[in-house]
Amino acid sequence: MNRRQALIKKMAKRTKARENKKEKPNAGATKDRYISKAERAKLEAEAQAAEVKLADASSSETDIDADVIDADVAAGTGN
């Protein structure tokens, strides 16, 4: 290999190394990380627990409101 070819190869190699260091935006579709089956089950259980908690909170508010209305009717205030 002659000197010119050697220089060209070295320069190309260095250029490629410099280009590899640069961050390339949109270098492909970003993929979400892998979520294992156990993690998915855990997330689903947490979501269901949150729904149950919200349902219990709303039903307890409804029970309180119903008790107040029943007390008003029994007292004859009509409010």
One digit per residue, the tens of pLDDT, for the chain of length 79 reads: 699 999 999 999 999 999 888 877 765 666 678 889 999 999 999 999 999 888 887 777 666 665 656 666 666 665 5
pLDDT at res. 32: 76
> What is the CA 16 to chain-centroid distance, rounded?
36
Q: Residue 19's CB: how many other CB atoms inside 10 A?
A: 9
- Per-residue DSSP letter, 73: H
DSSP calls for 50-63: HHHHHHHHHHHHHH
> Do residues 68 and 61 touch, judged by C-beta distance below 8 A?
no
Residue with tokens 């156990």: 38
Give the predicted TM-score (pTM) of the model.
0.37
- Residue 47, token pair as written in the block: 């979501």
